[in-house]
Every structure is written in structure tokens, then in C-alpha cells.
């Protein structure tokens, strides 16, 4: 590996530290806030296999990103576990020198049978999306009649396999699952699982987002604190997006991701790679930079490094801080395409 260059920073002096990689645009759920069935129905045209980055192409890009400062990689989707043989990619990435943290976000539907092979391949941790413990609410949100029990079984399998600690992400939407906020906290309190609440965000343009559907971080804190007192905790590292709170009685912690009401753009160190190789510098990005064309066009690692440096140095994204009616309705990439 070549010697690291001086820190790569953007226009707001934010370093490049984290890379989220969508390995597929497909998912076996049709969550209403991400892939609503009325848009992603039977006739929806997903990317053909030939359009997806190969595992070798992804590994090559990650190696280049590491040389530019990336320390953490998270595999996302769609649902990453529907990508065939994804364990092979995990193994390839786990063996790259300089990568400190390799994680994956999943809906948990395949974890019961995949957890051990993912751990054996070198995956370190996972995050599981789970929006309610109430089966009626959960099934209505995933819209494929998938039961909570099978996700919980997968989480236990992941714990037993050593994929730990496990974070649990709950997207909170007013009038849909906000009544589950305290139930979720009560269930996971004292278990070691780290529950994180996510404000319903205006990612993409197909989920019918409205500001009045957002349950604010402040409201979530009040709901939990009223029954189980919590207090704020300092972040673990620069760029951590979740505001941390711990239970006063010492029985664990929760996190809240408040992109809508308390933006954290100023500390964002993340880049995102879509499944067909488009590089996005913001979750709310309108367009991506085509790395696949460079890979398949015969460009050298040095060429790709130079391209990446230009993109990041010109980055000035801060969508959540300047969110207005005008920006809310601008074209944006869908969450299922870019990863959460």
C-alpha cells in the first residue's frame, strides 16, 4: 500500500472516513418509508446483474478509498443479504489492510441462517432494522407480512455468532409506529442491544414524506425519559450521527438520529457508493459520480484516486442544515438505491 497522503477534506474541512456500499438495489421487504409497493411493484425494473459492481470491483474501490482515509465500511442495500454469496465480498474486504471496521445493515430476515457464515467471513458487527415489536404494526410497515419473531430469532443468532454489539434501527413515523417507541426501549433495555431511533426522513421522492409525519428527537427523548430516565452521553467518535443517551440506572444506552430537527451535516464524514458504482457525497444527493465507468474503462488506480480527490475536495453538501420547501422537492436518489 502506498503511503497515505495528507488528510483529504472537503470544502467544510470534513475528512473522508466512512464508506457505505449498497451491494444491491433489491429488497424482499416493501417498507412504506423506503420502497413503497405502489412504486416498487411487480413491474419495477431493478438493475440487471451486469450493471452491479462485481465483488472484485468493490474490493478494488475500497482499497483505493482506504488509501484516501476511509477507516469504516458498511454494506447496505436494498437488503444486502439478498445479494448472492455476499459472504465472499465480506471476506475480500475483511482482508484489506487498513480497514478498521466492517459492518452491515440488514432487515434481519435472513440472519438466522446467515449470521455464522458472515462472522466466519470476517464481518465484525451488524445493524438490524426493526420498526416495531407489534406484529400488526411491523407487518403493515414491511408490507410483506413478515413476522417480528423471525427478525428477533435472527438477532439472537447474530449475537451467538459473535456479531456484537448489535444496533437496532427504528424509523419512527407519526401515526404509524410512534406508539411503539417506549415498548421498544423497554424490550431492549438491559439486553446489550443498542436501540437507535431515526426521525422519518425525506430521503428519495417516493415515500410521501411530510414534515408533520416526523416525530422529533426531543419528543422521543421525552417519551422514554418519562418512564426510564436517560441522560446524554458524549459521542464515541467524530462524525457519529446518533446522539447518545444512557439509562440513569446504568442498564444500557439508546441513540437518536435526528437529521430533520437537529442536523449533523457539519460532522458528516460519509461517502456512499450505489450498487452500480455511483459515488454520492450526501444521503440526499441528486446525482452520483460514475466510478464504474472508470473501473470498466481501463483507468488506473491513480486515475481513480485523482477523481475521488477532486469529488471530495469540491464537496459542500449540507442538505439537512438548509432544508427548505425548495430543496425538499428537488430530485433525490431513493434510499433503497443508495443505502440508509
Check: CB of residue 299 under 8 Å from CB of residue 170: no
Q: Is the pLDDT of residue 3 over 70?
A: no
With b meaning 16 or more CB within 10 Å and e meaning fewer, what string describes 287-325?
Answer: ebbbbbebbeeeeeeeebbebbeebbeebebbbbeebee
pLDDT at residue 81 tops 80: yes
Is 8 inside any structural domain?
Answer: no
What per-residue confidence (pLDDT) applies to 34?
85
Q: What is the mean pLDDT of residues 222-250?
A: 93
Interval 297-316 mean pLDDT: 97
The owner of cell 444512557 is 246
335: Cβ contacts below 8 Å, ≥ 6 apart: 34, 203, 204, 207, 283
Q: What range defines the domain where residue 305 resides?
A: 18-338
Domain presence at residue 286: yes
Which pLDDT score is estimated for 212?
A: 87
Inside any domain, residue 13: no
Q: What strand order describes the sheet that includes 125-129?
A: 230-233, 243-247, 253-257, 194-199, 166-172, 125-129, 101-106, 72-76, 18-22, 270-273, 278-280, 289-290
- CATH code, 52: 3.20.20.70
Per cent of the chain over pLDDT 70 is 89
As a whole-number percent, the residues of the chain with pLDDT over 90 amount to 77
Return the H-helix or E-strand segment holding 93.
Answer: helix 86-94
Q: Would residue 182 count as lying in a domain?
A: yes
Question: Total structural domains in the chain?
Answer: 1
- pLDDT tens digits along 157-211: 999 999 999 999 999 999 999 999 999 999 999 999 999 999 987 665 666 668 8
Q: How far apart are CA 248 and CA 228, in angstroms?
A: 8
Residue whose entry in the numeric block shows the C-alpha cell 477507516: 71
pTM: 0.92
Amino acid at each position: 500500500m502506498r503511503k497515505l497522503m495528507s488528510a483529504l477534506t472537503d470544502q467544510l474541512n470534513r475528512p473522508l472516513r466512512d464508506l457505505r456500499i449498497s451491494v444491491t438495489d433489491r429488497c424482499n421487504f416493501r417498507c412504506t418509508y423506503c420502497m413503497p409497493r405502489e412504486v416498487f411493484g411487480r413491474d419495477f425494473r431493478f438493475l440487471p446483474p451486469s450493471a452491479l459492481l462485481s465483488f472484485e470491483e468493490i474490493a478494488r474501490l475500497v482499497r483505493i478509498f482506504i488509501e484516501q482515509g476511509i477507516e469504516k465500511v458498511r454494506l447496505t442495500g436494498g437488503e444486502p443479504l439478498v445479494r448472492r454469496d455476499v459472504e465472499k465480498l465480506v471476506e475480500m474486504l475483511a482482508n484489506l489492510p487498513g480497514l478498521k471496521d466492517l459492518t452491515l445493515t440488514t432487515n434481519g430476515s435472513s440472519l438466522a441462517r446467515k449470521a455464522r457464515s458472515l462472522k466466519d467471513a470476517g464481518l465484525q458487527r451488524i445493524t438490524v432494522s426493526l420498526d416495531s415489536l407489534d406484529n400488526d404494526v411491523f407487518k403493515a410497515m414491511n408490507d410483506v407480512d413478515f413476522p417480528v419473531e423471525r427478525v428477533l430469532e435472527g438477532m439472537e443468532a447474530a449475537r451467538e455468532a459473535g456479531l456484537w454489539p448489535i444496533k437496532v434501527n427504528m424509523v419512527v413515523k407519526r401515526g404509524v409506529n410512534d406508539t411503539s417507541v417506549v415498548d421498544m426501549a423497554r424490550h431492549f433495555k438491559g439486553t446489550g442491544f443498542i436501540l437507535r431511533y431515526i426521525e422519518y426522513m425525506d430521503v428519495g421522492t417516493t415515500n410521501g414524506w411530510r414534515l408533520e409525519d416526523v416525530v422529533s428527537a426531543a419528543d422521543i427523548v421525552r417519551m422514554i425519559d418519562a418512564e426510564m430516565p436517560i441522560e446524554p452521553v458524549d459521542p464515541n467518535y467524530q462524525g457519529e450521527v446518533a446522539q447518545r443517551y444512557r439509562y440513569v440506572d446504568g442498564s444500557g444506552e439508546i441513540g437518536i438520529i435526528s437529521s430533520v430537527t437537529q442536523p449533523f451535516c457539519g460532522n458528516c464524514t460519509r461517502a456512499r457508493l450505489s450498487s452500480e458504482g455511483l459515488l454520492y457525497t450526501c444521503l440526499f444527493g441528486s446525482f452520483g459520480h460514475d466510478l464504474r465507468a472508470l473501473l470498466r474503462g481501463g483507468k488506473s488506480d491513480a486515475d481513480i484516486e485523482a477523481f475521488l480527490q477532486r469529488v471530495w475536495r469540491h464537496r459542500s453538501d449540507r442538505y439537512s442544515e438548509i432544508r427548505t420547501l425548495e430543496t425538499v422537492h428537488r430530485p433525490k436518489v431513493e434510499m433503497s438505491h443508495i443505502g440508509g
